[in-house]
Structure 1
């Protein structure tokens, strides 16, 4: 990658944020017990997420990307190391954290509006406040004309908008996304990326995105962490240098090509390791 590209490769260390980290992992390790053995899936991993940062994670299949997200979400606990959100240990799902998964998690028996309101009603939020938040989220995600529609009547991209809107109404300060657009076609993914960037700018939330798509990571992120083969650790951090007010038009720039080339340079080496191990 040329020096003129502007994509900075930072040292293999936690992000040096000016303010205290919004979320932090230190020496995090996750091992799974199997019937006849154990699987060292992740770590040790160190990571600092700055408040308001858009951070993406890429890496080979099975390297522990989703395990890392589960630990930040409080859905899984590490065997070693510490995980914190807003200076407090993560024990169970922290208040202020929202998660969106790749799988369509909309409820087929509820229309769009009721899907989006579901979490608020379970939390006992005042009905007037529910209406205010749902009106905003449905309008923000471009679903106003489909508020009375059911998931079966919507496209895959629109169903994913419903899931994002359901997370948005809870007003999370940290949004965790596990390949939310993986099942969508390339054109729809780019457009959904634009919606995600708009959401990020307007809410000022910290975002961590897990993705296999290097172009998605390069377009959306302030910073991209590249993970190794299992057990996954961070082997590179790349700062993209994009302006905050960006959209999918950046994919046509030479700088975008430089970023994706840098990411692929690292991942190609990891992919070759996996192939070599399979032939052994």
Structure 2
């Protein structure tokens, strides 16, 4: 893995005006962070701490109030940069389209030939284990499979940076582990940088090379944990003694911050 910075945040902050009020809410920052090219980076933190806000800054879905955010050395404006793919928690598949057409949707505005589009879709179907369901509709699939469709729709655009905002939050624990295996496999296959937002400490500990721990709002980075896992890891890593050590370290950093976010900072 190279140490070259793929994404850079420098003194990045985000504030916004509360709807229907003149109150200004300081949501996040300042944050300084370098995402290394090709790494898997996860962020955990209490609810409302600005995790998703940081992802939106990197995605170009919002702009920083202060500081700077760059992707591949270029400032990120108010649109998703070329080479960046985003997957959210919500099922974003189109119910009236087949799996194949859902995946192809992201390529419709490109100048690719029909042959190239079909080739990319076929490869994505195969990579995500969806080839047998290419002509099915989302309503005929499980929640985990529908989320695979959304990930495949992102993959066909061949992003160099994949942003994931709680992509498995609606799934049961067993399915989350299996989807984590799929995510690690495609990360290795594509070589993309992955930035994951999650509430699940065990998910972050299993998937990531590094984990950023955020404070209560306004979210700042309290700690960055290096997991030290091999790149060819899978869900069996949860059996390693260090897995428990990593999740314990994350919780030590987060416990007080989580109580703050609940208005219980003085709790024992």
- Normalised by the shorter chain, which TM-score bucket? over 0.9
Secondary structure of 1:22's aligned partner? strand
Q: Is the counterpart of residue 78 in structure 1 residue 64 in structure 2?
A: yes
Deviation at 1:273, TM superposition (A): 2.2
**C-alpha distance in 2 between matches for 1:175 and 1:239:** 20
**What does the per-residue CA deviation read over 1:30-57, in whole Å, with 9 as the maximum and x for residues that have no partner?**
0011122111100001110000010000
Residue in 2 that maps onto 1:135: 122
**What does the per-residue CA deviation read over 1:110-142, in whole Å, with 9 as the maximum and x for residues that have no partner?**
000000000111223210000110000001100
**C-alpha distance in 2 between matches for 1:66 and 1:275:** 18
Residue in 2 that maps onto 1:63: 49
Secondary structure of 2:242's aligned partner? helix
**What does the per-residue CA deviation read over 1:207-262, in whole Å, with 9 as the maximum and x for residues that have no partner?**
00000000000000000000000000000000000000000000111110000000
Deviates more, 1:265-274 or 1:104-113: 265-274
Residue in 2 that maps onto 1:29: 13
Q: Is the counterpart of residue 171 in structure 1 residue 132 in structure 2?
A: no
Deviation at 1:272, TM superposition (A): 2.3
Gaps of 5+ in 1: 1-16
Picking from 250, 257, 263, the partner of 2:237 is 250
Secondary structure of 2:86's aligned partner? strand
Structure 1 segments, 4+ long, off by >6 Å, are: none
**C-alpha distance in 2 between matches for 1:278 and 1:251:** 31
| Equivalent residues of 2:2, 2:37 under 8 A apart | no
Deviation at 1:22, TM superposition (A): 0.4
Residues 18 and 181 of structure 1: is their aligned pair in 2 closer, same or farther, counting only changes over 3 Å?
Answer: closer
**C-alpha distance in 1 between matches for 2:199 and 2:172:** 14
Q: TM-score, normalised by structure 1?
A: 0.92
Q: Is the counterpart of residue 198 in structure 1 residue 177 in structure 2?
A: no
| Equivalent residues of 2:259, 2:265 under 8 A apart | no
Residue in 2 that maps onto 1:115: 102
**C-alpha distance in 2 between matches for 1:279 and 1:233:** 20
Query: 5 Å matches for 1:4-15?
Result: none
Deviation at 1:274, TM superposition (A): 2.8
Residue in 2 that maps onto 1:218: 205
Deviates more, 1:115-124 or 1:197-206: 115-124
Instruction: Give me the CA root mean square deviation.
Output: 1.4
**What does the per-residue CA deviation read over 1:255-280, in whole Å, with 9 as the maximum and x for residues that have no partner?**
10000000011111112223445889
Q: TM-score, normalised by structure 2?
A: 0.96
| Equivalent residues of 2:47, 2:258 under 8 A apart | no
**C-alpha distance in 1 between matches for 2:266 and 2:244:** 32
Gaps of 5+ in 2: none
Residue in 2 that maps onto 1:106: 93
| Equivalent residues of 2:208, 2:227 under 8 A apart | yes
| Equivalent residues of 2:162, 2:192 under 8 A apart | yes
